[in-house]
């Protein structure tokens, strides 16, 4: 991997892509992130797992300030975004985000969906934006659907367009929030394959997922969250294969065998 200027410090060591220190977030008097310390290094794929309501989406949204932290610091690509004077748009340009709902523009073609932000934000010419978009549509296996409208695509194809659209901005970090959980089961595999290929090409990725097989295979590190805190993190074989904490064990029993009734949840 080539270290960029902002990714390298004076000593030559590689700086983190994301660094959260004591991150807190409250909605009203309800604290949903209770002091998160998390570092993501260049090229690393970190999967976040945990029960519904544990704060996974909120944590991800604090990386591009879709949610504002109420305490602690978040530094992204060398810029402290919790600094009140931050130019957040400059940081957001370098961070791609893919949500459960793909949010494509329905009145535009697939190609237009992938070029509009390039032209508006990065000020690329039509020709250059289209070239970049076509390259990324090819990466997700959808170059032939460039002239189509999103409504003529399956959910899985639409999600792959959303990934191509994000990649067309040349992000240095990709955030995924349960990108496959709104899809029919038979469409999940193609989206995960695209994400796996992206990871193999060295993209730094922070992924909230319920796909334990994907996390196990692709993640460099798995982070288990519960009740606004990181309970346990480590290599996938460790966290998913041999969880140390009782809360991690209970969660994994529920996801890996949904018919299993844990005492107290019946
Ligand atoms: N805008 C908001 N206003 C008030 N409360 C919120 C808001 N967004 C999230 N919350 C609350 O914060 C907590 C954490 O929510 P979050 O969406 O981060 O959980 P999650 O781990 O992503 O859950 P899921 O797996 O269901 O997506 C929840 O209790 C949720 O109700
Ligand atoms: Mg969520």
- What is the CB < 6 Å shell around ligand 1? 27, 32, 50, 52-58
Q: Please, what's the largest Cα pairwise distance for the chain?
A: 60
Which residue's CA is minimally distant from atom 25 of ligand 1? 52
pTM for this entry: 0.92
Stretch (H or E) spanning 37: strand 30-40
pLDDT (tens digit, 9 = 90+) per residue, 205-232?
A: 999 999 999 999 999 999 999 999 999 9
pLDDT for 265: 46
End-to-end CA distance of the chain: 49
Residues less than 5 Å from ion ligand 2, measured at CB: 57
Distance CA 100, CA 4 (A): 30
Which of these, 169, 159, 219, 229, lies nearest to 194 by C-alpha position? 159
Residue 74 forms beta bridges with which residues? 20
Which atom number of ligand 1 is nearest to the Cα of residue 50? 21
Distance 33 CA to ligand 2 centre (A): 13
Which residue's CA is minimally distant from atom 24 of ligand 1? 52
Which residue's CA is minimally distant from atom 4 of ligand 1? 27
8 A C-beta contact, residue 38 and residue 74: no
Residue 235 has, within 13 A of its CA and on its CB side, a CA count of 4
Distance 62 CA to ligand 2 centre (A): 13
Which atom number of ligand 1 is nearest to the Cα of residue 59? 18
pLDDT for 101: 87
Ligand nearest to the CA of 28: 1
Distance 117 CA to ligand 1 centre (A): 28
Q: What is the pLDDT along the chain (266 residues), one digit of tens a residue?
A: 444 444 444 455 689 999 999 999 999 999 999 999 999 999 999 999 999 999 999 999 999 999 999 999 999 999 999 999 999 999 999 999 999 888 899 999 999 999 999 999 999 999 999 999 999 999 999 999 999 999 999 999 999 999 999 999 999 999 999 999 999 999 999 999 999 999 999 999 999 999 999 999 999 999 999 999 999 999 999 999 999 999 999 999 999 877 766 554 44
pLDDT for 257: 79
pLDDT for 262: 52
Pocket test for ligand 1, best of 24, 50, 54 (most atoms within 8 A of CB): 54
pLDDT for 201: 95
Query: Which burial class, exposed, middle or buried, applies to 238 when counting CB atoms under 10 A from its CB (0-12, 13-18, 19+)?
Result: middle
Which residue's CA is minimally distant from atom 8 of ligand 1? 58
pLDDT for 231: 98
Distance CA 74, CA 230 (A): 16
Distance 238 CA to ligand 2 centre (A): 23
């Amino acid at each position: 991997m080539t270290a960029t200027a902002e990714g390298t410090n004076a000593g030559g060591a590689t700086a983190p892509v994301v660094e959260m220190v004591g991150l807190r977030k409250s909605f009203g008097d309800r604290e949903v992130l209770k002091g998160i310390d998390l570092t993501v290094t260049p090229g690393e794929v970190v999967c976040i797992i945990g029960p519904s309501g544990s704060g996974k989406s909120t944590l991800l949204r604090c990386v591009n300030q879709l949610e504002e932290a109420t305490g602690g610091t978040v530094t992204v690509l060398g810029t402290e975004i919790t600094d009140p004077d931050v130019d957040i748009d400059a940081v957001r340009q370098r961070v791609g985000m893919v949500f459960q709902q793909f949010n494509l523009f329905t009145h535009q073609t697939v190609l237009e969906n992938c070029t509009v932000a390039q032209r508006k934000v990065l000020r690329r010419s039509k020709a250059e934006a289209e070239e970049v978009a076509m390259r990324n549509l090819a990466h997700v296996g959808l170059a032939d659907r460039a002239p189509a409208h999103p409504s003529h695509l399956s959910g899985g194809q639409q999600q792959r367009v959303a990934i191509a659209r994000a990649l067309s901005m040349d992000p240095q970090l990709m955030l995924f929030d349960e990108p496959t959980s709104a899809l029919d089961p038979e469409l999940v595999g193609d989206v995960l394959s695209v994400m796996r290929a992206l990871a193999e090409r060295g993209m730094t990725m922070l992924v909230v997922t319920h796909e334990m097989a994907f996390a196990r295979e692709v993640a460099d590190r798995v982070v288990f969250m519960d009740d606004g805190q990181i309970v346990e993190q480590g290599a996938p074989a460790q966290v998913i294969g041999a969880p140390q904490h009782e809360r991690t064990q209970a969660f994994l029993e529920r996801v890996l065998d949904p018919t299993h009734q844990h005492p107290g949840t019946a």
